[in-house]
């Protein structure tokens, strides 16, 4: 079964996780999301 295609942000995130060798959601949010300006919706309320 072929794998689904990836979007730009999905590809960037997947590359980051593959480069880290594994990451939790918190680590991804801190090291990957914050530098790109991603904010948690719960914090923005």
Partner 1 sequence: MMERLRQKRRLTRRRIDGIYRYFSPTSRGEVLRDVVQTFVEKTLGGSVSPFVAYLTESADLSEAGDSPTCSAWSPSFVTRGTRDDGRPALEPCGGAGRLVRAAPRRVVAGGPGRGRRVAAVSLFPRMPAHVRAMLWWLVCAKFLVGLAWTAAGRRAVASRLRRARRGVHVKRLRLLLRPGLGLGRRSGLASAFGVGGTRGVSAPSASSGAPAPFKDPAHGSRCTRRTARRRLYYRRRWRWVSSGSAASCCIWR
Q: How far apart are CA 45 and CA 33, in angstroms?
A: 18
Please say whether the beta carbons of 17 and 23 come within 8 A: yes
Binding site for partner 1 (CB under 8 A): 3-6, 9-11, 13-15, 17-19, 21-25, 28
User: Shortest Cβ distance from residue 22 to partner 1 (Å)?
Assistant: 4
User: Shortest Cβ distance from residue 32 to partner 1 (Å)?
Assistant: 10
Q: How far apart are CA 25 and CA 1, in angstroms?
A: 27
User: Shortest Cβ distance from residue 45 to partner 1 (Å)?
Assistant: 20
Nearer Cβ to partner 1, position 8 or 45?
8
């Amino acid at each position: 079964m072929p794998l689904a295609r990836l979007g730009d942000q999905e590809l960037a995130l997947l590359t980051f996780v593959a480069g880290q060798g594994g990451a939790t959601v918190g680590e991804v949010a801190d090291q990957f999301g914050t530098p790109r300006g991603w904010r948690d919706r719960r914090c923005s309320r």
